[in-house]
Structure 1
Amino acid sequence: MPVISATPDLDNLTLTITAEFAAPVDRVWQVYADPRQLEQIWGPPTYPATFVDFDFAPGGQARYYMTSPEGEKFGGWWKFTAIDATTSFSFTDGFADGDLNPVDGMPVSTNVYEFSPTETGTRAVYTSTYASAEDLQKVLEMGVVEGASMAINQIDALLAA
Structure 2
Amino acid sequence: MTTQQPEKYFLLSSAIYAERKPTIVQTVLGSCVAVCLFDKVKDFGGINHYMMPVWKGEGLASPKYGNIAIEKLLKRMLNLGAKKENLIAKIFGGASQYGENTNFSIAKNNIQVAKDVLQEHKIPIIASNVGGEKGRRILFNTNTGEVLLKYVVKH
TM-score by length of 1: 0.31
Structure with greater proportional strand content: 1
TM-score by length of 2: 0.31
